[in-house]
Amino acid sequence: MIKPYGSETLNPLFVYDQKKHAELQKEAEGLPSLLINSAAAGNVVMLGGGYFNPLTGFMNVADSVAVAEKMLTTTGMFWPVPILNTAHDVSSIQGAKRIALRDPNQDGNPVIAVQDVEAIETLTDDQINLIATKVFGTTDDGHIGVSTFKSNGKYVISGPIQVLNFSYFPNEFPDTFRTAVEIRNEIQEHGWKTVVAFQTRNPMHRAHEELCKMARDGVNADGVLIHMLLGKLKAGDIPAPVRDASIRKMVEVYFPPNTVMVTGYGFDMLYAGPREAVLHAVFRQNAGCTHFIIGRDHAGVGDYYGPFDAQTIFDTDVPKDALQIEIFRADHTAYSKKLNKVVMMRDVPDHTKDDFILLSGTKVREMLSQGIAPPPEFSRPEVAKILMEYYQNEVAGK
């Protein structure tokens, strides 16, 4: 099986030993505590599950700036985005060497992790703008990733963590949420050697389905990991339970049995385009995947990134020996009326726009909310049915 990034074996930060877990939970109740923001809580979940291997906790200012500028920590380790615990107010933990981190996304704000505090520093406005420019490609507050980053506070609390739980994800998504440890174990149980991963924050239409099949066949993969984001998205995005149901139905009906794992991870979307694509590749390698699909405008939002920036970053900014996972580069996929199948547009230079069945997201949402199924060449009818029910309930609830 492919090695994790940065170490021989995966080192999740969740405390699996029951005795140590109970001791840590008891200790945490007596420690100074900090109610962290949702982005930091997502980082805790990813660190706990082994997705962010080989990191041992939250970065300090020097590492965050170095990673933003050069995608290298101060010790020279490749990493694509700063992993931060930031806050507006640190008065409750001032002078503390060990603190309890409380989860903003669960009722009662239970302790999610214990952190050893190595430093509490302040990001300057220049550093905030530099990180935003390098990671998101802009300082524009209209970019949801930038506005979220800027709104999370200037105080940076760095140091290693021990994770006590995975927030609300195991309870809300018991059939879907998986740690990198669990995915690796399942890949091993399947006996898969070559695994291609597909990232999604949306329901999967026919083109996505066929893209997974093209990648599977293109790299001769034993299986496909459909890996959906379960954390916070921007307003208007379809909720995770609806995405989950529609993807599972598509896999059940249109993929051979035991060739696809439908899973999810607990993280808030960054919308950081190319940089987030590299982060996605890192944690798919940690999950045991050998290949990762990157298509047009991967992890993008608005018009902040070029359509293939998330692919070219692997040529321009990622050192050749940094990652073992290989990138499967995809073009826009759509149904060809000429060929009666879904194709990548780059593979059919003789086609014009009129030769494809193309629908905008706005048009699809309109159709679904009116109870009109998109054409089967665009969306499988079983998937469309689930999405129509969701959109019609949304309309009825307004």
* pLDDT, mean of residues 220-240: 90
Fold identical between 18-167 and 174-265+269-397? no
Q: How confident is the model at residue 228 (pLDDT cuts 50, 70, 90)?
A: very high
Q: How confident is the model at residue 226 (pLDDT cuts 50, 70, 90)?
A: very high
**Does the structure show a pLDDT above 80 at 205?**
yes
Q: How confident is the model at residue 237 (pLDDT cuts 50, 70, 90)?
A: confident
* pLDDT, mean of residues 136-159: 98
What tokens does 23 get?
């001791």
pLDDT in tens, 246-292: 999 999 999 999 999 999 999 999 999 999 999 999 999 999 999 99
Please report, for the chain, the start and end positions of each structural domain, with discontinuous segments joined by +. 18-167, 174-265+269-397
CB of 211 closer than 8 Å to CB of 293? yes
Which class is 174-265+269-397 in CATH? alpha beta
Closest CA to 137 of 299, 371, 1: 299
What tokens does 140 get?
């524009």
Q: Which residues are catalytic?
A: 201-202
Predicted confidence at residue 255, as pLDDT, reads 97
Q: How confident is the model at residue 396 (pLDDT cuts 50, 70, 90)?
A: low
For domain 18-167, give the CATH number.
Answer: 3.10.400.10
Q: What does pLDDT average to over the chain?
A: 96
pLDDT in tens, 308-350: 999 999 999 999 999 999 999 999 999 999 999 999 999 999 9
Predicted confidence at residue 239, as pLDDT, reads 87
Predicted confidence at residue 236, as pLDDT, reads 75
pLDDT in tens, 2-36: 999 999 999 999 999 999 999 999 999 999 999 99
What tokens does 270 get?
């960054």
**Does the structure show a pLDDT above 70 at 398?**
no
* pLDDT, mean of residues 203-215: 95
